[in-house]
Chain A
């Protein structure tokens, strides 16, 4: 009986090919819109996560200065603070004090404004940098404050045009500095080019460039699988004690937890994704109503035909099933084509806006189920109307 209904329904769809195609289009667009929104949304979420993890995994960034208190004198950290943190707080992978300053780097007849950061050996580990070419600073360079530097990819491109740079001397603040390494590119993070940087030993920075013993930031990398919240609390307390902040005073430093930023930002993109998905779902609903509309028109238009079918011995439930199957074939076909369209467009869109293509099988299953449900729900009413026609009235219908 199902087979019969399918046969009759397919013949009916073939008879009205253009109309069937247009009806299906509503479902195709609805399903495709939902899947594209969710897929691209997931890609964006993943991209945000990727950017944050490129800053360093499980990283706490501690900066001197109160939140939003610009203009007031900022009391910097010292190397002693960093040492205290690494000695008194457990489960730390690396504690990296650093200080930085904007400067102009010169090589030959080229110059480039960039940021120069003084670092210790823990910095590269804490911030997930990889040396692409050359080497890390040697312990003796770090200890003695040698004028060696490791340059970021952007600096390499701007000053050396990606030609051999190792061993060359560049000028920083009228100081000559030997390039010993080039960092592997990390790319953009939140609109800032992470590769636009020059690293030199912290001691060299303090002595030759800054002329003081200040540390402006301490990057703390927490052991994998260990909660950063606890470390953050302990570090805060420790720094308050060391900086003699009274119980009722605000911190004059702040701790940024990359995990927290990740959670906030991915949370935001996830909400946006569901919001867009919901809007797209409305178009799917509209598509379903389109099917119902066409089926109702079709019932009216085919009244005589239905009368004929009933007269030659079609049962009520056979007519019902035929119309229901017709609606379901249309909506499922629309669902299938919608999925194909969505996958293709998602791949293209992901390429264009440069986010990873992450196909969620769940949403595809939901789309399949939904399109079948649309067929049943919106097909049932017209189908029942067709089945309950009085054959005599129907045959007389003009």
Chain B
């Protein structure tokens, strides 16, 4: 492996200015290689969301640098970062964030529309993604007609339909019961294993973190521990 997929170097993030300044990250070094499944844990206010926003190219660090496939993200413009998200990243949010009154199929198609994919190919890809998450036959249902687990599966289909390099999941099981949570986690594991998608997931549930291959603990804006989990057979 020539260079790591993701590399954070002495990264800090400060919100606000002067006396009201709040340091969310105080010098984080983190390297993530292609094919990893990393769980980021930590109490609230530990900086895990901040790090997630930066990894997702939604935000830029105050100091230090973030290299994505060797590209220094800090130096990119807002539009360049949007293009980076469009072509390399997939997002799964805690609140699903599906478009209401819009069919599952159209929701999954959305990132492909921004990629400018022709209609026919777009339909095929979106149906295939829905099939992968086990929602064949639910294409025309709007989010209101789907259960929470199904909604999250639509959201996951939307994230993987573009075949991203990295899938970022922010508390993907936060709004689900334990059975649904396990379904979602097994799905993520399968993507990591079978499709080789690098997954970075924020969670505060140790059970869910167990599915990952590596767990990074954040406390007070610093990495407290970085351990590999025992792999299940």
A interface residues with partner B (beta carbon < 8 Å): 1, 4, 7-8, 11, 15-16, 304-305, 307-318, 391-392, 395
Contact = CB atoms under 8 A, between A and B. Distances in A.
A395 B96 CA distance: 11
A311 B113 contact: no
B48 interface: no
Contacts of B101: 15-16
B59 interface: yes
A222 B215 CA distance: 105
Contacts of B90: 312
B110 A4 contact: no
Contacts of B89: 313
Interface in B72-124: 78-79, 82-83, 85-87, 89-91, 93, 95, 97, 99-102, 106, 110-111, 113-116
Interface in B173-197: none
Given A304-B97, A311-B56, A316-B82, A4 B91 contact: no
B153 interface: no
13 contacts: A4-B116, A11-B106, A308-B93, A310-B82, A311-B85, A312-B158, A313-B111, A313-B115, A314-B86, A315-B79, A318-B114, A395-B93, A395-B97
Contacts of B102: 11, 15
Shortest beta-carbon contacts, A-B, top 6: A313-B86, A308-B97, A313-B85, A15-B101, A312-B111, A391-B58
A201 B114 CA distance: 88
Interface of B: 53, 56, 58-59, 78-79, 82-83, 85-87, 89-91, 93, 95, 97, 99-102, 106, 110-111, 113-116, 158
Contacts of B53: 392
B59 to A, nearest CB: 6
Contact of A314 (B82, B97, B106): B82
A315 B97 contact: no
B97 A313 contact: no
Given A7-B113, A312-B86, A312-B158, A307 B97 contact: yes
Nearest to A305: B99
Nearest to A4: B113
Given A309-B110, A313-B115, 12 more contacts: A4-B113, A308-B93, A308-B99, A312-B91, A313-B87, A313-B89, A313-B111, A313-B114, A316-B78, A316-B82, A317-B79, A395-B97
